[in-house]
Structure 1
Amino acid sequence: MSQRISLPSSIAALLFLLPWFGGLTVGEVSNSFSQCLDFFYNRTPPRGLENVDYKQICQLYKNRYHFASLYRRQHRAPLFSAYKLSPADGKRPKQPWMYEPQLAFSRASPEMRRFKNITDQNVVESQAVLEDYRNSGFSKGHLCPSLHQKTMDDRESTFTLTNIVPQQIGSNSGPWSTLENELLARYKNFCIGPMYVITGVMPYESETHWINNRVSVPEYMWSAYCCPVFKPNLLKGMEQRFPTYAAVGRNDPNSGQEIVPVDDTVKPSVRGYDVKQMTLEALEGILSRRLNVSVTLFDGNCQNPYMERFRERFYYLLLRYKHF
């Protein structure tokens, strides 16, 4: 007969309280993320990326918020999506693509809807539609990927074009996919509690590139995470990757190499789509220079003294428990 092992009440209480340290748990288009601040560390969206032309979308699907996106209407693509990583408990869904009704009509339903035969010009003008990607040579690149979302509803919710950018296939199925899996492994192996992720794009510096003369193509992809509570005694090489780390990936094999150098030794199908991992500060510096604003992605750089004391207390109790 198997026995259920219970944690001492003091440890159980700490585990119960853990999510509250990262913010209260709470597609709606508005001028703020007030309905979905839970997807940002300390309930604080990035600073420096505010713009009157951008729309904040609390991505609503089946009456629940799943992640948040900052949407550039003029570019018909998101600038970033923010979410809490949670490993998928199933396969990638065969989900029809969806759109955001409130981008077209402010009084429309806040829930994303499946594409059928879109003929309403307000929808076509306000956001990307499936026809934009057809025969474009680009894949639909998730900013919040389905493999980072736990339940089937969570994963289905990522299949909205307000979470999608034109991404080269060599990037999407190559080095960028490898990075997404590395983030998943770090979360599983080292994080205790939530990992907050923000993934976005950098436009071209000189001129905008388009598909179908409507949807902007990014020159680079970027991603950063905040894991405020993590295991002690990290493996060698992991010390600098917590509580934060970041990466920039090439989406144009012909771009210069000043941000991400090219490895000429890799196979041709992924050559020029390199991903360079770096500190959070390095990524924020790149974004600040490229976007000509001062960018802060995580409040307090994901440094929270209460979290540190929590971590110390947690491991003290855990070590005591091991001696019972």
Structure 2
Amino acid sequence: MLIWFFFSLHSFYPAIFFAMKCWLPLLPVLSTLLCLSQGDVGDFSPCLNFFYRYWPPSGLSGTPICQNYTNRYYFATLYSRERRSPWFSAYLYTTPAGKRPKGVWKYEPQLANSNASGVMLPFPIPPKKVDQTVVKSQAVQQDYINSSYTRGHLNPSLHHQNRSERRSTFTLTNVVPQKMDSNYGPWSELESNVNVTLNKYCAGPAYIVTGIIPYRMDRWLKDEHRVAIPEYLWSAYCCPTYSQNLPESLRRTFPTFAAIGRNDPNSTEEMVPVDRTKKKFVGYDVRPMPLTDLEIYLRERYGREIAVFSKQCL
């Protein structure tokens, strides 16, 4: 109960949480209680700027990671150690420029060793040489090799401007097993459409959170039951300052927009119906919806209230 209390305090009152964290050297008992998961892997306080009004989504628990690449924070991820995959990643949108950089896949050393640096590191070559403490703590490249799933970014390289921002997204704590027809089909189209819309009409910071909806009974990438497969992906943005000259087709998409995409063509259709008139990517549909509808579906699947943005981004 105490751990849950302080996690809730962190989710709902980040300013208070940050102030309390400054007192931790004087309060060793409280410091122990504030550990959100096994090991001292940190919390969101160093990277609250990636959340609207500095409030992380409420209602989900896991290991918070401030994604650090080359000694700079680029986005935030809530990670599930048990599932070896993220619940969500949160980031600030920036207009992309140039070609997508070559991705060098990285891992988080602090998940394997609480005393390790929080700066992500590239996997060794060949991948089989990765330390077993890393293998136990998170997904590794071997998990995805010879599987029928791609590495699906929650925070996509496409939504960032400079090369360092884009390279930082290539960490396995930011990806989930995603079917190729979803990753390179309707979900990719959604990411591109969001890119165009925000670039053209968002006049201030745009906050994006992208996450997953699990199966009611977990399914796994391989027989080892290491990496959980999501049934759906979801994404939402919050753009509190935007152009007043929106076309009619976009008037309902500001200041917020949300969508759920199918990662399983055989899933039921309560959340996202299948358009069987399509000639390609049938069953991998993406359904745009209001933020409130997304939160209803999240509540139904997770069994608790989940708020993506503080006060609905209003």
- TMscore range, shorter length: 0.7 to 0.9
Question: Does structure 1 residue 222 correspond to structure 2 residue 230?
Answer: no
After TM superposition, give the deviation of residue 266 of structure 1 in Å: 1.1
Structure 1 match to 2:201: 190
Structure 2: runs of 5+ lacking an equivalent? 1-14, 16-39
Structure 2 match to 1:274: 285
Q: Which amino acid aligns with 1:55?
A: T
After TM superposition, give the deviation of residue 128 of structure 1 in Å: 0.3
Q: What CA deviation, in whole Å up to 9, does each residue of 1:138-178 have, x standing for no partner?
A: 00000000010111000000000000000000000000000
Which SS does the other structure have where 2:297 is aligned? helix
Structure 2 match to 1:78: 86
Aligned pair partner of 2:219 in 204, 209, 212: 209
Distance across 2 between alignment mates of 1:97 and 1:158: 9
Aligned pair partner of 1:136 in 135, 142, 147: 147
Structure 1: runs of 5+ lacking an equivalent? 1-22, 24-28, 304-324
Distance across 1 between alignment mates of 2:123 and 2:132: 14
Distance across 2 between alignment mates of 1:48 and 1:180: 25
Aligned pair partner of 1:170 in 173, 181, 186: 181
Which SS does the other structure have where 2:194 is aligned? helix
Distance across 2 between alignment mates of 1:290 and 1:256: 13
Structure 1 match to 2:266: 254
Distance across 1 between alignment mates of 2:301 and 2:138: 24
After TM superposition, give the deviation of residue 296 of structure 1 in Å: 0.6
Which SS does the other structure have where 2:59 is aligned? coil
Q: Which TM-score applies when normalising by structure 2? A: 0.85
Question: Does structure 1 residue 94 correspond to structure 2 residue 102?
Answer: yes
After TM superposition, give the deviation of residue 95 of structure 1 in Å: 2.3
Structure 1 segments, 4+ long, off by >4 Å, are none
Q: Which amino acid aligns with 1:101?
A: P
- How many residues matched? 272
- Sequence identity, in percent? 51
After TM superposition, give the deviation of residue 30 of structure 1 in Å: 3.5
After TM superposition, give the deviation of residue 242 of structure 1 in Å: 0.3
8 Å Cα contact 2:123/2:130 also seen in 1: no
Structure (1 or 2) with the larger CA radius of gyration:
1
Q: What is the correspondence of 1:1-324 to structure 2 with a 5 Å cutoff?
A: 30-49=41-60, 51=61, 54-116=62-124, 117=127, 118-205=129-216, 207-212=217-222, 213-268=225-280, 270-303=281-314
Distance across 2 between alignment mates of 1:274 and 1:126: 33
Distance across 2 between alignment mates of 1:30 and 1:44: 19
Q: Which amino acid aligns with 1:264?
A: R
Q: Which TM-score applies when normalising by structure 1? A: 0.82
Distance across 2 between alignment mates of 1:247 and 1:282: 9
Distance across 2 between alignment mates of 1:256 and 1:100: 35
Distance across 2 between alignment mates of 1:155 and 1:70: 19
Distance across 2 between alignment mates of 1:228 and 1:112: 31
Q: Which amino acid aligns with 1:225?
A: Y
Distance across 1 between alignment mates of 2:236 and 2:130: 38
8 Å Cα contact 2:41/2:111 also seen in 1: no
8 Å Cα contact 2:153/2:176 also seen in 1: yes
Distance across 1 between alignment mates of 2:250 and 2:104: 38
After TM superposition, give the deviation of residue 31 of structure 1 in Å: 4.9
Q: What CA deviation, in whole Å up to 9, does each residue of 1:158-207 have, x standing for no partner?
A: 000000000000000000000001111111111001110000001001x1
After TM superposition, give the deviation of residue 32 of structure 1 in Å: 2.4
Which SS does the other structure have where 1:258 is aligned? coil
Which SS does the other structure have where 2:86 is aligned? strand
